[in-house]
Amino acid sequence: MSQITLSHSEEHHEAHGHHHETFLSKYVFSQDHKMIAKQFLITGIIMGVFAMFLSVLFRLQLGWPDKDFPILETFLGKWAEGGRIKPEFFLSLVTIHGTIMVFFVLTAGLSGTFSNLLIPYQLGARDMASPFMNMLSYWFFLTACVIMIGSFFVESGPAAAGWTIYPPLSAVPTAISGSGLGMTLWLTSMTLFIASQVLGGINYISTVLNMRTKGMDFWKMPLTIWAFFLTAITGLLSFPVLVSAVVLLIFDRSFGTSFYLSDLVVQGQILPNEGGSPILFEHLFWFLGHPEVYIVLMPALGLTSEVISTNSRKPIFGYHAMVYSLIGITVLSFIVWGHHMFVTGMNPFLGGVFMITTLIIAVPSAVKSFNYLATLWRGNIRFTPAMMFAIGMVSFFISGGLTGIYLGNSSLDINLHDTYFVVAHFHLVMGSASIFGMLCGVYHWYPKMFGRLMDERLGYLHFWVTFIGAYLVFFPMHFMGIDGVPRRYYAFTEFPFMAKWLTVNTFITWAAIFAALGQVAFLVNFFGSIRWGKKAPQNPWGSNTLEWTTPVKHIHGNWPGEIPTVHRWPYDYSKPGHEEDFIPQTVPFSATMSSNLPHDFEGNPEAERLQKEWEVQNKPEEQKDLKG
Amino acid sequence: MSVKKHNFFRILFCVVLLMGLMIRPGVYAQTTDSTSTSTSATSNVASAGKDTSASAGKDTSAAAAPAAATSAVAPAATSSSTAAAPAEEVKKPIDPQVYINFFYYVLLFFLVCVVIGIIGKILRVYELTSTMQGKKGLNKNSVQGALFLVSLFVGLYGVYWSFEHHGGMAWHEAATEHGKRVDAMFIVTTVITTFVLVVMHIAMFSFAFIYRGKPKAKAYFYPHNNTIEKIWTIVPAIVLTILVLFGFFTWRSITNVPEDLQKSAMQVEVMGAQFQWTIRYAGRDNVVGKRNYKLTSTTNDMGIDFTDKASWDDIQGGEIVLPVNQPVRFHIISKDILHSFYIPYFRVQINAVPGMTNYFQFTPTITTQQMRDKLDDQNFNYTLLCAKICGAGHYNMQKNIRVVSEKEYKAWLAEQTYFYNDDMRKEFKMAQSTNNTNQTVLEGGVK
Ligand code: HEM
Ligand SMILES: [Cu+2]
Ligand SMILES: [Cu+2]
């Protein structure tokens, strides 16, 4: 395998050089994993900014429900007549915000960027298993993005049934105008999106399975790769179920079937549908939907594991436990979806079972957080911006994860379901944690992507503004939820008991604006550094993994000569007996006799013998200290 | 040198910006005065005639269509649009002042950016000079590590403050029997999670500070420790098991009501619709009569099937009135789309799903008056909300709930009207006698 790719790429470099590459083939229809990663990232960032802008718009409404913002009318037109967002459009904003954030930013933008960038790099592969499918994956994704944003320009408005698009609301256009053409576009966009995810997922999985370089067995893979691999498996198993849900919904909408519809009298009109059930949709949706939150989260966990280890200059604590927790989360994530449906009328006994599985999944998550802390303990921590974001990610993961214990408990969920408590919970654990994981990845691998470094100061500014802003926005929401304030409310003015939250809401909106403006620091830094950033050295962070052995300048096929061979796990940081505080994976044990541990040779008597001999000769007095 | 030049231009720019902003207060006074804006707006109609007439044609046609479709809804929107639509056909154009104000905000933000940029530059210059003079300068690891420590203290205080402040606003006693059990569990969970939250953050941020990087230090190579890992797998597992068991049994006790208790409870049906709740009390026989959605009409909003005699004594409630300390079994249905029957004070929530009936049985224990006294708020009322997104009026789908003594309840119930009133009776009789075929269809449709 590697022989073939090797000769292929050498021929490419030595003989053809760059003269085959036109602008189109290099930047647009690229099949190179590095370029596709950048395409995903930049598209993801644009979508993220857009969705964040939407959230600021509806936060304006929630913060000042009685105030006009005439400027809104200029660019929203009839949707904000007199400078006041209309209730239906508010719901559209919330819906598209959620959809874009979850799917386009944190699924495609995160996995798409870093799986594409790092799987070949960290495994020692020339490219993805199928570069062409990889390109298709991006183009499907981009088309989906365009359609999703395009739905803002249709007469009846974009989809407005929430990102979960529960029917019948999403199926009956007379119930809400967003369920007309807007919902059709939403469904089309999501179908294309899923096609993109499946193409990408197959590629990631087959690359991890087949294209690891010599010596890279599974237990030598960095946690990033483990995370991407398991994420891709999760996605591949769950996204098709969403397709089926979507297709049945399309049938109900357009062909008069009754999969989800029964006994409806909408706006005085008796509909003929009988025998369907919206609960069916909920099951299908959450069969994807819950794994989806781990699809969003696991890459972030992988990226931060890598960054925390590198910048603590310490091996990640409990590498095996980290992998097993990821596997545990992957498996369990498929049997907990019912916790979104405790109060839907699903059989209550089933609810009890889902509660049990849900709280089990908290155990691997807890193990992961403890292991992060243990990795920081007695480290020699370098606070690069990436490291800051990684620490922030762990903080959000903890505080958001803990509120999951409430929501996973069906008795408590009775009073918290569909309230702002849920909004707070998932924004911390899924929104903020994953975004921080993604940003951590961007700051850390920017030199690998663009050959330049990002500005550190702006990075710190960005971190603190975002970290503080996110907590200020989402922490108070817990309390609104406990008081019983439901989510997806256009205004909190109609119920007397919600009036007391008005000041809190105004405060949250200010915090959201503050955090949103803070992202300008990132955008300036990101796009500015492409041109003006400091030139990056080959291995700026003193990292062990393979991607840092490639030249700074991108070349087709990644390594100019032979693909490096891997000799050790990726976390030999600050190993006693070695003078540098890192040992790249490519360094053989024979070159580090002074730092080898008995543990390193498990199952290889020959190596153990050599090591013993060397030790007897060189430092007999240290032998008793060497424990695995 | 070039750096200095740069700064000079920036400062110049700031000065210009500041001057621009000085003009602002006067401008602002105009906009806050609403009458002056409206007069200026009308004068603008004339002045900006060309560009409004172009856009107005589009806008009115666009606005007409959705207005018809959602006329039932849009409470806030209708009021504002009626106010904004006087006799004249032309829509009010957007006051140019709006753009100017917006522009000022953008400038203001730009100014902030510039200031931050300058602070950054100053810091860099400071750092460069101090390293040139051979001083240690600001070590970025120390600075950020210290910031983490500060953020730990500020954060902990913030959490404390928020718990006390917002927690006080949010927390209220449950007014139902099962609610007390839910609350006990809520408190136990809160104690555990808050403890973990605080301890984990103290650990993490103090590690960040204590082990901040120093040039000569070396980290401690510590790849794993099976004992520790076992401990922190098993301890959360045990804690969670306890919570699960606690939760599971509470959940079963709420949802799994024995059959005889189900029958003996008072039966009330609640139907969610866009955007109101309809209440049907079961009447003397304590049986909610059958309904068939196909019978829905303007007079028979719930589609009650009056061939079922059990429906004849069903009573329509203008609000929900419940006798205290008496079990009540709610049958939750939906007329159109999903809604959610949610009463925060009762710790009650269940979705209203078209095509099926959901049940929630509970016993209110505190009357409205008692709760008012407790809260020291004589305007307090229990309310039913909708917690499942259902369209434009979702945020205002409420029903008043009163918990009263048995006597008051009886008195109130006697005042309510039957669904099967004289008009209905006539209509029904007529349908039965004149149209036999229709009658059979009706019966066939009844489930
Ligand atoms: C700029 C930062 C953000 C702010 C201020 C913000 C604010 C909000 C608010 C207030 C809601 C609830 C609206 C309502 O229920 O009425 C919401 C909904 C939502 N947000 Fe965010 N959000 C932000 C970022 C994110 C991120 C990063 C994610 C990624 C997971 C995300 C995902 C969602 C989802 C899935 C919903 C639910 C949409 C729905 O109800 O259908 N948000 N956001
Ligand atoms: Cu879930
Ligand atoms: Cu609703």
What CATH number corresponds to the domain at position A252? Answer: 1.20.210.10
- For B432: left if phi > 0, alpha if psi spans -120 to 50, otherwise beta; the answer is alpha
Q: What is the pLDDT of residue A502?
A: 92
Which atom number of ligand 1 is nearest to the Cα of residue A512? 5
Identify whether residues A397 and A495 lie together within a single domain. Answer: yes
Q: How many CB atoms lie within 10 A of CB A450?
A: 18
Q: What is the pLDDT of residue B49?
A: 37
Taking residues A76-97, what's their average pLDDT? Answer: 87
CA angle A215, A219, A223 (to 5 degrees): 115
Q: How many CB atoms lie within 10 A of CB B32?
A: 8
- Dihedral pair phi/psi, residue B176, rounded to 5°: -135, 165
CB A448 within 8 Å of CB A121? yes
Identify whether residues B310 and B237 lie together within a single domain. Answer: no
In a domain? residue A284: no
In a domain? residue B89: no
Type and span of the H or E element at B339? strand B339-343
**Number of Cβ pairs closer than 8 Å across A and B?**
390
* Alpha-carbon gap, residue A400 to A404, rounded angstroms: 7
* Alpha-carbon gap, residue A200 to A221, rounded angstroms: 20
Identify whether residues A266 and A376 lie together within a single domain. Answer: no
DSSP 8-class letter at B389: -
**Structural domain ending residue among the three candidates B138, B162, B190:** B138
DSSP 8-class letter at A61: H
Q: Residue A292 above 80 pLDDT?
A: yes
Burial label, B3 (beta-carbon count in 10 A; 0-12, 13-18, 19+): exposed
In a domain? residue B39: no
* Alpha-carbon gap, residue B339 to A204, rounded angstroms: 41
Between B71 and A258, residue with greater pLDDT = A258
Nearest chain B alpha carbon to A408: B244
* Alpha-carbon gap, residue A301 to A223, rounded angstroms: 8
Taking residues A203-227, what's their average pLDDT? Answer: 92
CB B240 within 8 Å of CB A362? yes
- Dihedral pair phi/psi, residue A491, rounded to 5°: -155, 150
| A475 residue type, one letter | F
Taking residues B136-161, what's their average pLDDT? Answer: 88
Identify whether residues A247 and A311 lie together within a single domain. Answer: no
* Number of domains forming the structure of chain B: 3
Identify whether residues A454 and A561 lie together within a single domain. Answer: no
A74 closest CB neighbour out of B94, B158, B274: B94
* Alpha-carbon gap, residue A552 to A558, rounded angstroms: 10
| Per-residue pLDDT tens digits for A438-474 | 999 999 999 999 999 999 889 999 999 999 999 999 9
Between B222 and B80, residue with greater pLDDT = B222
Buried b or exposed e, range B110-120, using 16+ CB within 10 angstroms: ebeeeeebeee
Tokens (6 digits) for A334: 């498929």
Q: Tokens 């357009």 appear where?
A: A254
* Number of domains forming the structure of chain A: 3
Q: Residue B39 above 50 pLDDT?
A: no
In residues, how long is chain B? 447
Ligand with minimal distance to A91 CA: 1
A402 closest CB neighbour out of B171, B193, B337: B193
- Dihedral pair phi/psi, residue A309, rounded to 5°: -65, -50
Q: Lowest mean pLDDT: which of A132-136, A166-170, B215-219, B432-436?
A: B432-436
CB B207 within 8 Å of CB A374? no
Distances (CA, A) of B44 to A74, A461, B38, B51: 16, 44, 10, 11
Identify whether residues B128 and B161 lie together within a single domain. Answer: no
Q: Residue B53 above 50 pLDDT?
A: no
Identify whether residues A164 and A238 lie together within a single domain. Answer: yes
Q: Residue B102 is part of which domain span?
A: 1-31+96-138
Distances (CA, A) of A10 to A125, A555, A557, B294, B381: 14, 11, 8, 74, 78
| Most ligand 1 atoms within 8 A of CB, residue of A56, A60, A61, A101 to mutate | A101
Identify whether residues B147 and B134 lie together within a single domain. Answer: no
Residues 6+ apart with CB under 8 A from B71: B78
| Per-residue pLDDT tens digits for A410-422 | 999 999 999 999 9
**Structural domain ending residue among the three candidates B255, B284, B311:** B255
The answer to whether residue A279 neighbours chain B at the CB level (below 8 Å) is yes
Asked if A402's CB is within 8 angstroms of B240's CB, the reply is no
Query: Cα dihedral sign for B300, B303, B304, B307?
Result: positive
SS3 B401: strand
Residue-averaged pLDDT of chain A: 89
Q: The domain spanning residue B415 has which CATH number? A: 2.60.40.420
Q: Residue A264 above 80 pLDDT?
A: yes
Residue-averaged pLDDT of chain B: 77
Ligand with minimal distance to B352 CA: 3
Taking residues A309-336, what's their average pLDDT? Answer: 92
Which atom number of ligand 1 is nearest to the Cα of residue A430? 30
Q: How far is A33 from chain B (nearest CA, A)?
A: 32
Q: Ligand 3: distance of its center to the CA of A175 in Å?
A: 12
| B344 residue type, one letter | P
Q: Do β-strands B399-404 and B320-323 pair in parallel, antiparallel, or remain unpaired? A: parallel
In a domain? residue B447: no
The answer to whether residue A73 neighbours chain B at the CB level (below 8 Å) is yes
CB A375 within 8 Å of CB A381? no
Q: What is the pLDDT of residue A621?
A: 53
Q: What is the pLDDT of residue B136?
A: 62
Q: Could you tell me which of A358, A326, A320 has the C-alpha nearest to residue A341? A: A358
Q: Do β-strands B328-334 and B266-273 pair in parallel, antiparallel, or remain unpaired? A: parallel
Q: What is the pLDDT of residue B425?
A: 79
CB A129 within 8 Å of CB A153? no
The H helix count followed by the E strand count for chain A is 19, 4
Q: What is the pLDDT of residue B435?
A: 54
- Dihedral pair phi/psi, residue A580, rounded to 5°: -80, 160
Identify whether residues B427 and B283 lie together within a single domain. Answer: yes
In a domain? residue A281: no
Identify whether residues B171 and B209 lie together within a single domain. Answer: yes
Which atom number of ligand 1 is nearest to the Cα of residue A52? 1
Distances (CA, A) of B173 to A131, A259, A510, B179, B366: 60, 42, 31, 8, 10
In a domain? residue B20: yes
The answer to whether residue A494 neighbours chain B at the CB level (below 8 Å) is yes
Q: What is the pLDDT of residue B56?
A: 38
Identify whether residues B234 and B377 lie together within a single domain. Answer: no
| Per-residue pLDDT tens digits for A275-285 | 899 999 999 99
Q: Residue A340 above 90 pLDDT?
A: yes
Percent of chain A with pLDDT over 90: 65
Q: Residue B63 above 60 pLDDT?
A: no
* Alpha-carbon gap, residue A331 to A317, rounded angstroms: 22
Buried b or exposed e, range A32-41, using 16+ CB within 10 angstroms: bbbbbbbbbb
Between A456 and B18, residue with greater pLDDT = A456
Alpha helices in A221-262 (DSSP H): 223-254
In a domain? residue A154: yes
Q: Ligand 1: distance of its center to the CA of A235 in Å?
A: 22
Identify whether residues B334 and B244 lie together within a single domain. Answer: no
Asked if B218's CB is within 8 angstroms of A380's CB, the reply is yes
Q: What is the pLDDT of residue A18?
A: 47
Identify whether residues B229 and B124 lie together within a single domain. Answer: no
Identify whether residues A523 and A550 lie together within a single domain. Answer: no
Asked if B388's CB is within 8 angstroms of A418's CB, the reply is yes
Q: Ligand 1: distance of its center to the CA of A48 in Å?
A: 12
Task: Grade residue B224 by pLDDT with cuts at 50, 70 and 90.
Answer: confident
Type and span of the H or E element at B266? strand B266-273
**Nearest Cα residue to atom 5 of ligand 1:** A512
Nearest chain A alpha carbon to B226: A318
Identify whether residues B119 and B240 lie together within a single domain. Answer: no
Burial label, B205 (beta-carbon count in 10 A; 0-12, 13-18, 19+): buried
* Alpha-carbon gap, residue A279 to A346, rounded angstroms: 7
Which atom number of ligand 1 is nearest to the Cα of residue A426? 30
Percent of chain A with pLDDT over 70: 95
Pocket of ligand 1 from Cβ distances under 6 Å: A 52, 55, 59, 94-95, 97-98, 101-102, 106, 162-163, 423, 427, 430-431, 435, 473, 487-489, 512, 515-516
Q: What is the pLDDT of residue A81?
A: 78
* Alpha-carbon gap, residue A165 to A170, rounded angstroms: 6
| Per-residue pLDDT tens digits for A547-597 | 999 998 888 888 888 889 998 889 988 888 888 888 999 888 888 888 888
Q: Residue A387 above 90 pLDDT?
A: yes
Identify whether residues A527 and A555 lie together within a single domain. Answer: no
End-to-end CA distance of chain A: 35
Asked if A376's CB is within 8 angstroms of B204's CB, the reply is yes
Q: Residue B68 above 80 pLDDT?
A: no
In a domain? residue B438: no
**Nearest Cα residue to atom 27 of ligand 1:** A431
Identify whether residues A376 and A440 lie together within a single domain. Answer: yes
Identify whether residues B147 and B118 lie together within a single domain. Answer: no
Identify whether residues B228 and B268 lie together within a single domain. Answer: no
Between A458 and B72, residue with greater pLDDT = A458
Q: Residue A401 is part of which domain span?
A: 306-532
Identify whether residues A516 and A565 lie together within a single domain. Answer: no
Asked if B223's CB is within 8 angstroms of A317's CB, the reply is yes
In a domain? residue A313: yes
> What pTM, to 2 d.p., does this model score?
0.86
Q: Residue A402 above 90 pLDDT?
A: yes
Tokens (6 digits) for B2: 């070039």
Taking residues B6-11, what's their average pLDDT? Answer: 48
Residues 6+ apart with CB under 8 A from B179: B345, B346, B347, B348, B362
Asked if B381's CB is within 8 angstroms of A494's CB, the reply is no
Q: What is the pLDDT of residue A37?
A: 93
Identify whether residues A550 and A528 lie together within a single domain. Answer: no
In a domain? residue B297: yes
In a domain? residue A298: no
Q: How far is B259 from chain A (nearest CA, A)?
A: 15
In a domain? residue B305: yes
Asked if B247's CB is within 8 angstroms of A411's CB, the reply is yes
Tokens (6 digits) for B307: 């061939």
In a domain? residue A285: no
Task: Grade residue A390 by pLDDT with cuts at 50, 70 and 90.
Answer: very high
Identify whether residues A33 and A176 lie together within a single domain. Answer: yes
| Per-residue pLDDT tens digits for B337-383 | 999 999 999 999 999 999 899 999 999 999 999 999 999 889 999 99
| B391 residue type, one letter | G
Identify whether residues A477 and A525 lie together within a single domain. Answer: yes
Q: Could you tell me which of A579, A573, A576 has the C-alpha nearest to residue A541? A: A573
Task: Grade residue A599 by pLDDT with cuts at 50, 70 and 90.
Answer: confident
Q: Residue B16 above 80 pLDDT?
A: no
Identify whether residues B234 and B268 lie together within a single domain. Answer: no
